[in-house]
Amino acid sequence: MALPDDSRYLKGGPVAQRIIAAVREDAAIARAEGFPPKLVSITVGDTAAVDVYVRNQRAKAELAGIGFEERRFAADITAGELEAAIHGLNADPRVTGIIIQRPVPAHIPIKTLQGAVHPLKDVEGMHPASIGNIVYNQLDLAPCTAAASVELLKETGLELKGLEVVIVGHSEIVGKPIAFLLMSEGATVTVCHHMTRSVAAHARRADALFVAVGKARLIKADMVKPGAAVIDIGINSEIGPDGQSRIVGDVDADSVKEVASWITPVPGGVGPITVAILLRNTMVALNRQRALYNATYGVADKLAAE
Ligand X SMILES: Nc1nc(=O)c2c([nH]1)NC[C@@H]1CN(c3ccc(C(=O)N[C@@H](CCC(=O)O)C(=O)O)cc3)C=[N+]21
Residues that bind ligand X (CB under 6 A): 49-50, 52-53, 56, 99-102, 124, 144-145, 173, 235, 247, 266-268, 271-272, 274-275
- Smallest separation (angstroms) from ligand NDP to the CB of 268: 11
Contacted entry of ligand X, ligand NDP, none for residue 236, CB cut-off 5 to 8 Å set by kind: ligand NDP
Contacted entry of ligand NDP, ligand X, none for residue 286, CB cut-off 5 to 8 Å set by kind: none
- Smallest separation (angstroms) from ligand X to the CB of 296: 30
Residues that bind ligand NDP (CB under 6 A): 49, 102, 145, 168-171, 173-175, 192-195, 199, 212-214, 233-236, 270-271, 274
Q: Which residues contact 237 (CB under 8 A, 6 or more apart)?
A: 48, 49, 245, 246, 247
Residue 193 marked in a binding site: no
Residue 268 marked in a binding site: no
Contacted entry of ligand NDP, ligand X, none for residue 23, CB cut-off 5 to 8 Å set by kind: none
- Smallest separation (angstroms) from ligand NDP to the CB of 267: 9
Residue 271 marked in a binding site: no
Query: In angstroms, rounded to a whole number, what is the distance separating the alpha carbons of residues 57 and 20?
Result: 12
- Smallest separation (angstroms) from ligand X to the CB of 65: 19
- Smallest separation (angstroms) from ligand X to the CB of 126: 7
Residue 170 marked in a binding site: yes
When the beta carbons of 16 and 86 are compared against ligand NDP, the nearer one is 16
Contacted entry of ligand X, ligand NDP, none for residue 281, CB cut-off 5 to 8 Å set by kind: none
When the beta carbons of 30 and 124 are compared against ligand NDP, the nearer one is 124
Contacted entry of ligand X, ligand NDP, none for residue 177, CB cut-off 5 to 8 Å set by kind: none
3-state secondary structure the chain: CCCCCCCCECCCHHHHHHHHHHHHHHHHHHHHCCCCCEEEEEEECCCHHHHHHHHHHHHHHHHHCCEEEEEEECCCCCHHHHHHHHHHHHHCCCCCEEEECCCCCCCCCHHHHHHHCCHHHECCCCCHHHHHHHHCCCCCCCCHHHHHHHHHHHCCCCCCCCCEEEEECCCCCCHHHHHHHHHHCCCEEEEECCCCCCHHHHHCCCCEEEECCCCCCCECHHHCCCCCEEEECCCEEEECCCCCEEEECCECHHHHCCCCCEECCCCCCHHHHHHHHHHHHHHHHHHHHHHHHHHHHHHHHHHHHC
- Smallest separation (angstroms) from ligand X to the CB of 39: 12
When the beta carbons of 37 and 267 are compared against ligand X, the nearer one is 267
Total Cβ atoms within 10 A of residue 23? 26
Contacted entry of ligand NDP, ligand X, none for residue 272, CB cut-off 5 to 8 Å set by kind: ligand X
Annotated binding residues for NADP(+), written as ranges, equal 169-171, 235
